[in-house]
Amino acid sequence: MKLPKIFLLLAFTMAIQLPVSAQTSGITGRWQLVKKSNCMDEAISADADTLQQMRDDMHSRAVAEAQVVSFRDNASAEESTRILSSGRSANQKKFFYKYNGEMLLILDKKSQTISDSYIVEKISSDSLVLSNASRPCEMKFFVKIKDLRAN
């Protein structure tokens, strides 16, 4: 009696996981953040010199290391900041994601609740542009990193 229930549960679990892996194939790989814009950039006009200086000062205090996000086929991902001139990375953050072609949902690793959501503005073989769903004026621009170790 328990054996058919186990097979039914196993078949149901596999049926759910197959569409997720098929949907994630367009975003899989390693992406490096090259530019970030925020709502303040749009709100402040570039004409005012003091405001421009303040904005430039704020941008200069931003993290200079390359931030890399790796999306895997199994709907898991990792975000890290590379240490200069090193193969190591620091500040690793692991999470799950769901991607349906239009939206990218970031899920908490433990609870699997949605922690952030992004609208995919553009995706191609070498670039990815995301806007925050709750604040569309916040944009993130990524370029795909070719993995030399695969060759």
Which distant-in-sequence residues (6+ apart) come within 8 Å of 149 by Cβ?
A: none
* Geometric angle at alpha carbon 110, from 30 and 133, rounded to 5°: 60
pLDDT at 95 (0 to 100): 93
Q: Give the global pTM.
A: 0.66
Which distant-in-sequence residues (6+ apart) come within 8 Å of 76 by Cβ?
A: 94, 95, 96, 97
pLDDT at 5 (0 to 100): 53
Which distant-in-sequence residues (6+ apart) come within 8 Å of 132 by Cβ?
A: 116, 117, 118, 119, 138, 139
95 versus 26: which is more confidently predicted?
95
Phi and psi based region of residue 101 (left: phi greater than 0; alpha: psi -120 to 50; beta: remaining)? left
- Read off the pLDDT of residues 23-82 as tens digits, 9 standing for 90 and up: 445 899 999 999 888 777 666 654 566 766 766 666 666 555 568 999 999 999 999 876
139 versus 58: which is more confidently predicted?
139
